[in-house]
């Protein structure tokens, strides 16, 4: 016996106004009376006619992934009631649409994707770039640190819809590229805007909106793959694990202390000449690193600093404390190095004594 599943017809509204919506899409809209749209914030939204929209989900959900899952669930539930529904997304359904991927993975409904024009066709035209000949990779701005890991460019970064996203993209790259970045906004619309901006001004001079993408011709050095993956893992754990989600910097103190003591034990047991204990040493270093990333993640959620700020702060501090390495300042011996180090530290912290700033609860470890 053949079981007929509820159907979801998935269409794309194209990258711009109603003139870029395909005739096949218009025919499908006319055929299916029960219609849903992911967002009304699209210049061609009017072609959908009478429809239900999911813009309100963006205001109530805690994360973007939760928004997309709620939308997909709502579409599936409606299809199970109505038998068949239409679901419209910006651009093309198969390009940078998380809700579509969630719907295709559903076993409760049968999904049909209809071809549509995406923003990519407009982007290649405006850039004058052949994406195949130049091996351009398209990545999601919300996942730039993870998706662009190990890449040197060229990259077309879509969904750069807020200053925060642009700032995170900017800080994910250690060595900023000298070549200007091309900003593409509202392609295919009367107020289309294509211009260049320096990497330093990426999050300052760009008024980001939901139709903003950027083209990065080349990166001076690839985004650090392992650390970016690790940062993404910490974020996912924070969002998805109930225990991780309820932690605070204060509640993590005892775990940080435990990991530091375990690291000290691993150092004591490590034999650098034979390599004995190296695996344990590496593991304990990783556990302490997790604590650093976890605390930085919590601080980032509170709006104070990110792991990039942590790395940049210690980078700048160590560079300033090593003028003999970076500025060619002469130094006689290790004793003078130690004097200069403590002098620089006292100047930075505005301390009168080397004992200032030592935690009162510091145990006698050495």
- Are the C-beta atoms of 197 and 170 separated by less than 8 Å? no
Share of the chain above pLDDT 90, in %: 63
- Domain spans, the chain: 7-117, 121-216, 225-304
> Per-residue DSSP letters for 202-228?
TTTS----TTEEEEE---SS-B-HHHH
* Residue scoring higher pLDDT (326 or 79): 79
At the topology level of CATH, where does 7-117 sit?
Answer: Cobalt-precorrin-4 Transmethylase; domain 1 (3.40.1010)
Tell me which CATH homologous superfamily contains domain 225-304: MazG-like (1.10.287.1080)
Which pLDDT score is estimated for 352? 60
Q: What's the distance, CA 223 to chain centroid?
A: 12
> Please, which pLDDT band fits residue 326 given cuts at 50, 70 and 90?
confident
Q: 82-91, 135-144, 284-293: which range is least confident on average?
A: 135-144
Q: How far, in Å, CA of 20 to CA of 130, rounded?
A: 21
Identify which has the larger pLDDT, 57 or 79. 79
Q: Tell me if residue 191 falls in helix, strand or coil.
A: coil
Asked whether the beta carbons of 42 and 90 are under 8 A apart, the reply is yes
Residue 193's pLDDT band, with cuts at 50, 70 and 90, is very high
pLDDT, position 225: 64
Average pLDDT over residues 285-312: 93
pLDDT at 115: 93
pLDDT for 31: 97
Using pLDDT thresholds of 50, 70 and 90, give the confidence band for residue 264.
Answer: very high
Q: How far apart, in whole angstroms, are the C-alpha atoms of residue 50 and residue 334?
A: 78
357 pLDDT exceeds 60? no
What is the structure's pLDDT at 227?
Answer: 81
- Class of the CATH-defined domain 121-216: alpha beta
Nearest residue to 281 (alpha-carbon basis) of 296, 265, 295, 294:
265
Least confident of 33-47, 278-292, 331-345: 331-345
pLDDT value for 221: 62
Confidence of residue 360 (pLDDT cuts 50, 70, 90): low
Query: Would you place residue 322 in the very low, low, confident or very high pLDDT band (cuts 50, 70, 90)?
Result: confident
Return the bridge partners of 365, or none: none
Residues 6 or more apart whose CB falls under 8 angstroms from that of 96 comprise 118, 138, 140, 158, 159
Which of 166, 172, 144, 145 is closest to 312 using CA atoms?
A: 172
Q: What SS3 state is found at 12?
A: strand
Check residue 84 and give its pLDDT: 97
Q: Quick check: pTM over 0.75?
A: no
């Amino acid at each position: 016996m053949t079981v007929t599943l509820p159907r979801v017809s998935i269409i794309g509204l194209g990258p711009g106004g109603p003139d870029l919506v395909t005739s096949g899409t218009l025919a499908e809209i006319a055929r299916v009376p029960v219609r849903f749209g992911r967002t009304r914030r699209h210049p061609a939204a009017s072609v959908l006619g009478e429809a239900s929209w999911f813009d309100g989900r963006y205001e109530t959900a805690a994360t973007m992934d939760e928004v997309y899952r709620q939308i997909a669930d709502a579409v599936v539930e409606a299809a199970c009631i109505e038998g068949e529904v239409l679901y419209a997304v910006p651009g093309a359904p198969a390009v940078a649409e998380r809700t579509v991927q969630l719907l295709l993975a559903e076993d409760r409904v049968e999904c049909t994707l209809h071809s549509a024009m995406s923003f990519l066709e407009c982007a290649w035209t405006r850039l004058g770039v052949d994406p195949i000949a130049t091996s351009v990779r398209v990545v999601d701005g919300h996942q730039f640190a993870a998706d662009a890991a190990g890449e040197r460019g060229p990259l077309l970064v879509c969904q750069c819809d807020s200053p925060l996203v642009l700032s995170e993209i900017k800080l994910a790259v250690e060595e900023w590229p000298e070549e200007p970045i091309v900003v593409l906004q509202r392609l295919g619309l009367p107020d289309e805007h294509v211009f260049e901006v320096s990497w330093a001004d990426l999050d300052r001079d760009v008024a980001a909106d939901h139709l903003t993408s950027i083209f990065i011709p080349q990166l001076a050095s690839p985004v650090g793959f392992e650390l970016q993956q690790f940062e993404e893992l910490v974020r996912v754990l924070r969002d998805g694990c109930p225990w991780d989600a309820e932690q605070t910097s204060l509640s993590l103190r005892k775990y940080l202390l435990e990991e530091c003591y375990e690291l000290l034990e691993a150092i004591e047991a490590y034999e650098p000449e034979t390599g004995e204990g190296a695996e344990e040493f590496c593991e304990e270093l990783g556990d302490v690193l997790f604590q650093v990333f976890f605390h930085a993640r919590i601080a980032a959620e509170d709006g104070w600093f990110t792991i990039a700020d942590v790395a940049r702060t210690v980078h700048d501090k160590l560079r300033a404390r090593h003028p003999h390495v970076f500025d060619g300042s002469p130094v006689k011996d290790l004793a003078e190095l130690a004097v200069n180090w403590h002098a620089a530290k006292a100047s930075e912290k505005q301390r009168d004594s080397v004992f200032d700033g030592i935690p009162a609860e510091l145990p006698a470890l050495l």
